[in-house]
Chains A and B, each alone.
Chain A
Amino acid sequence: MQSQSPTHEFFPAPPSQTWKRYPRLLGRLGMFTLIRELSLRGNFLVKVAVEVLWLGILLAFYETVFARTSMVASWPKQDYLFFVGCFFAINGVLETLFLENCNEFSNLVRTGDLDFLLLKPIDEQFLITCRRVDWSVSPNIIMGFCVMAVSLWNKGWEFDALRVALFAITFTCGVAIAYSFMLVLTSFSVWLVRNQSLMEMWWLFSSLARYPREIFQRGWANSLDLVFTYILPILLVVNVPSRVMVKTIEPKMVCFIMVVTVASLAASRWFFQRALRSYRSASS
């Protein structure tokens, strides 16, 4: 501390240096929550076992379904299992990094503990949505990728660098779009205080994302497809990354998901900051 110039204490670091500290901070927060989680190893292992069991049940369900049919909404078995793996991995990322934090937000608002977070010299959105890493659900990411790898192997998929690159991009876009939805729902807590039904809304959204778009492309469900692809684009989250790997690449949809990602991140950040401006500390 003594070697630092006094200006460091009074003036913020330049933006380039400020952004560099976020990955480091995320790593430290992750390490902190991992140590805390491992202090109750038995509980941690049971939670992991439940996630493994849940994936097993999901695979048993689809195994049963594909024993009776070779195709579900133009998705053959291995392609569909890739889709399931992709959903599991994206959901795993969201649950590991953000869900617990967003769930906690209404408590922070209700108790006024949000004050302490807002006083920290760090971006509020980062601190509120990333401060705890839920390691017990992180194996879902690995399991999701394992399911995807096995389905590609069984399908006899040939390596294609372009598809892999597009998958990486669209997978990240999918996570970002879903995160934006979660952030908007979380922001409502500032006005509603209680967010139980909002979290049910999140569950509802995620239950839409877990199916291929094709199941909505029939009769009355076409309107759902249009709404949840172009207006509230939750159907893009898993569908686009899955399609670029196992189906025909649609450049239009790849560009569209990238535009949607930028727009949804910007809109959700604006909404979140708007919500914070309406926050009235409960403790003071």
Chain B
Amino acid sequence: MTTALKPDQDEMEYELQSPNWSATWHKYYRVFRVSLAERMTYRADFLLGTFLRMLPMVTTILLWQAIYEGSGKDTLAGFKYREMIAYLLLVHISRMFSSMPGLAAGISREIREGTLKKYLIQPLDLLGYLISYRAAHKVTYIVMAALPYGIIFYLCRFYFDGIPSASICAAYLLSLILSFLIGFYFEAAVGMVGFWFLDVTSILYIVITLNYFTSGQMLPIDLLPTFWAGFLKALPFQYMAYFPAVVYLGKVQGNDLIWGLALEAFWALFFALLARYLYRRGLRHYGAYGG
């Protein structure tokens, strides 16, 4: 122990004694690297899973084709048939960034089982660690999914009007990054509820089910009656699926786009602060049982 505390021995010990931005960044970068390697282990299973998950898109395309034919109209709620299919494909990309499977349940489990204390006795912030871990998973997912998604989007290229302008692409990328942050901090905040309720699985089931509809994964929010469309657009859930997709399709432009991105950034910040606040408050309740 005495030798381990010497500042020039090892990088980690150095961080313990003099924390600074560079050391902190390096620490979470290492978490990112390790998580990346871990995720790459199951690449074959992942590829098969991605293909299978996208196949129901075929039935969705056929269903919407039947809906448009049945309506006898070219456009529904401002969406042409091609745009509708493009939207439903783009929602998969949005969810690729914003979905956080197992995050809230994992945090609640760590609280329940007492293993959360490892973050308290080490120079490691829980949210910092988890966001590095998730970022690594997302990067792996996006890299691995590039092939199956590339094939699917190539086969469905007729539903798109080519690649949008550079400014739209930049706005789209920003909206996706912000959707990742909203998705992460929202789920983390739900997980923090575990400090008071111990098991958040039940709450989580309801949140996931509601989110599926309110985020616009099933259909564009614009198709709903005016009141409900307005109501859902005032909620943050639309940024997890609907908003990035309509940005790519060029349906939000000019001031609306800037305003939309600003609101998305606001919600990301809001959930980040909420998760941090709940974590700090929750630690006062934390009994560190088990472990």
Contacts and interface: CB of A to CB of B under 8 A. Distances in A.
Nearest to A57: B213
Contacts, number: 89
B70 A200 contact: no
Contact of B205 (A50, A194, A203, A214): A50
Given A197-B52, A218-B65, A69 B70 contact: yes
Contacts of B71: 68-70
A202 to B, nearest CB: 10
Given A49-B206, A201-B52, A215 B66 contact: yes
A251 interface: no
A214 B69 CA distance: 12
B212 A57 contact: yes
A150 B224 CA distance: 23
A194 B45 CA distance: 10
A69 B209 CA distance: 26
Nearest to A47: B205
B76 interface: yes
B262 interface: no
A53 B201 CA distance: 16
A57 B209 contact: yes
Interface in A47-64: 47, 49-50, 53-54, 57, 60-61, 64
Contacts of B205: 46-47, 50
Contacts of A207: 56, 59
A183 B231 CA distance: 45
Q: Interface residues of B: mostly helix, strand, loop or mixed? A: helix
Interface residues of A, number: 37
B1 interface: no
A221 B202 contact: no
Nearest to B57: A207
A63 B260 CA distance: 28
A211 interface: yes
Contacts of A218: 62, 65
A263 B201 CA distance: 41
B62 A61 contact: no
Contacts of A211: 59, 62-63
Nearest to B76: A68
B210 to A, nearest CB: 7
A200 B45 CA distance: 11
A166 to B, nearest CB: 26
A57 B52 CA distance: 24
A268 B12 CA distance: 58
Contact of A67 (B49, B212, B225): B225
B263 interface: no
Interface string A182-215: 0000000000001011001101100110110011
Given A57-B213, A64-B223, A197 B202 contact: no
B59 A215 contact: yes
Given A61-B219, A67-B225, A216-B62, A197 B45 contact: yes
Nearest to B213: A57
Contacts of A200: 49, 52-53
B59 A73 contact: no
B218 interface: yes
Residue of B53, B68, B69 with most chain A CB atoms under a 10 A cut-off: B69
Interface in B207-224: 209-210, 212-213, 218-219, 223-224
18 contacts: A42-B202, A46-B202, A47-B205, A50-B206, A57-B210, A64-B219, A64-B225, A70-B71, A72-B63, A72-B66, A72-B67, A197-B45, A197-B48, A197-B52, A200-B52, A200-B53, A207-B59, A210-B59
In the A-B complex, the 9 residue pairs with the closest CB atoms: A69-B71, A46-B202, A73-B66, A71-B70, A69-B70, A207-B56, A200-B52, A215-B62, A50-B205
Interface of A: 42-43, 46-47, 49-50, 53-54, 57, 60-61, 64-65, 67-73, 194, 196-197, 200-201, 203-204, 207-208, 210-211, 214-216, 218, 221, 224
Given A64-B219, A197-B52, 18 more contacts: A43-B201, A43-B202, A46-B206, A47-B202, A50-B205, A50-B209, A53-B206, A60-B213, A64-B223, A68-B73, A70-B71, A197-B45, A197-B48, A197-B49, A200-B49, A204-B52, A214-B66, A215-B63
